[in-house]
Structure 1
Amino acid sequence: MEFTGVILAGGKSRRLGYKTKALLQVGGKRIIERVLDAVYGVTDKVILITNSPDDYKYLGLFMFSDIISDSGPVGGIYTGLVNSQTHQNIIIACDMPFIKSELLELLILQSDGYDIVIPETIDGYHPLCAVYSKNCIKPAEFLIKNKSLKVTNLFQYVRVNKVIFDENSPYYTQNMLFNVNTYEDYIKAEDIAKIIEASKFSQC
């Protein structure tokens, strides 16, 4: 089955002031480029959902603006699914510097017969790193029209596979689903990247 990678970069980065968080560098590489590396590990079909296309033109991706403005992540998911050319899609936020293609592959492998495959950790669900089928389009549109913009509200309308990730899971790392929302998160991400890099040298 074919998948499209849909990267959501429509957030306004309010908590980072004027900064576009996806373009911040972590470990010497822009966050969105780290996300893109992970997505390209599972598919060569990738689109970007953004209301600031000039910021990302250099990536050479097909880009689409939100179909329905001010609809949050649900609106981004809706826009991605409408514009995708495949039934199944791996949808991921642009601000996850430590996401790995192995995690995305595990979600994809468990998607048969489901419309959403979502990771669940001790911190809860992670709806912006999950598999969504086009069967979610109409429910998402319904939620947007009713101003019900919590992504997990989709669960009641479609078939959902909640995949638990913990220290016993393959490829699990504590920070694999870490996302950058604040300046403090960004500083923490830089520290994590330094630790990861140092551990690579210690294993040599």
Structure 2
Amino acid sequence: MNKALLPLDGKPVIEQLIEELEPLSQSILIAGGELRDYEYLGRKVVADFYPGLGPLAGLHAGLSASTTAWNLVVACDMPFVRRAVFEAIVARATQIEKNALNQEDERTQAIIVKIDGRVQPLLAAYSRSVLPELSTSLVSGRLRMTEWAAGLRAEYIDGAALAQRLGVAKQVLQFNMNDRADYDQARFIAREMRQNDVQGE
């Protein structure tokens, strides 16, 4: 099953993520996908340079095709990430760029959400300067994203605080769909969130 195209509240997850990203992004790339699956979205779809090597290869493809210094990244199976999360990441990246001329230390390469000590490398922003490390990891077969990210000069954003600002449980913010059971749970969570929104009106 293509997790990105699974509907929640009547709309595919990938369309919901695009809506959250669009106000903050110059352009949106879909990395590691098949054009025929996503061409209806009218977005650029880039294929992996290293097919079959998982999320790290998708990140490499997206960053290689990007023309911007910093790039927001979100996995297509994280259905409950909202704009406030991306705004916090963008604000930090903007501050890093403003401070860059005044600092002598090596520059930050990544801004990654961390929730209760658990790093979320597919909910982050990356500088294109990580591409050499990405290529090295892929060629050498070191494909675990958390291990690769641990070797970067990274800053971390408190995901629990962001979840509180969003009014959702931190478990919801980091929720991802790996199988049919997760999708069923996501549908339940979406229904609960919708009901809470209606009650709050």
The TM tier, using the shorter chain, reads 0.7 to 0.9
> Which residue identity lines up with residue 43 of structure 1 in the other structure?
S
| Larger helix fraction of residues | 2
Do the aligned partners of 1:135 and 1:158 also contact (CA within 8 Å) in 2?
no
CA deviation string 1:12-62 (max 9, x = no partner): xxxxxxx21111111111111111111113114111113421011100001
Q: 1:126 to 1:46 in 2, by over 3 A?
A: same
Partner of 1:90: 72
The answer to whether the 8 A contact 1:166-1:172 is kept is no
Residues 1:202 and 2:196 aligned together: no
Pick one of 133, 154, 157 that aligns with 1:163. Answer: 157
Match of 1:173 in 2: 168
Deviations along 1:92-132, one digit per CA (max 9) or x if unpaired, are 11111111011011012122142111111127111111100
**Percent identity between the two aligned chains:** 25
| Structure 1 unaligned residues grouped into runs of 5+ | 1-18
Alpha-carbon distance change, 105 to 31 in structure 1, aligned in 2, over 3 angstroms: same
CA-atom RMSD, angstroms?
1.7
CA deviations 1:78-102 (Å, max 9, x no partner) are: 1111100101000111111111011
Of residues 50, 54, 65 in structure 2, which corresponds to 1:68?
50
Query: What TM-score does the superposition give when structure 2 sets the normalisation length?
Result: 0.86
Partner Cα distance (1:72, 1:40) in 2: 25
What number of residue pairs does the alignment pair up? 186
Aligned equivalent of 2:113: 119
Q: Distance between the aligned counterparts of 2:199 and 2:117, measured in 1? A: 30
Residues 92 and 129, structure 1, Cα contact 8 Å, conserved in 2 = yes
1:29-40, aligned counterparts within 5 Å? 29-40=11-22
CA distance in 2: counterparts of 1:144 and 1:172, whole angstroms = 38
